[in-house]
Amino acid sequence: QVQLVETGGGLVQSGGSLRLSCEASGRTFSILIMGWGWFRQSPGKEREFVATISQSGGTTMYSDSVKGRFTISRDNAKKAMYLQMNDLKPEDTAVYYCAGGSGLSTSSLSYTYWGPGTQVIVSS
């Protein structure tokens, strides 16, 4: 019903910036009422919450590890979500996933739709 695709990953030096995008296709109504989220997973670790944004874009939440460095946003007209990542650190290296669900949530269990992921590598 809804498909998500992430772009924007890559290799960056410590202290650098990247902007991830997530574009949705499928049922427009479902996309517009979704809460969106970003998660990430490093080798050998569980998938962890990064950021989430409400349906309107008016409310956001961040993990403590990225607060102040990352900014989540959405453009409902474009059916897209973004993650601006500044001051990147080697520990930010992971596969980043965008997700769509019923509302604002830090739990991966709350999200129904997932993208395939995009790799971010931060070199020291």
pLDDT tens, 79-99? 999 999 999 999 999 999 999
Q: Quickly tell me which residue has 């109504």 as its tokens.
A: 29
For 8-64, how does the pLDDT look when each residue is reduced to its tens digit (9 = 90+)? 999 999 999 999 999 999 887 777 788 999 999 999 999 999 999 998 889 999 999
- Say which residue, 29 or 2, is predicted with more confidence: 2
Q: Please provide the DSSP assignment of the chain as one string.
A: -EEEEEE--EEEETT--EEEEEEEEE-HHHHHH-EEEEEEE-TTS--EEEEEE-SSS--EEE-TTTTTTEEEEEETTTTEEEEEE-S--GGG-EEEEEEEESSS-S-GGGEEEE---EEEEEE-
Span of 4-8, 72-76, 99-103, 120-124 with lowest mean pLDDT: 99-103
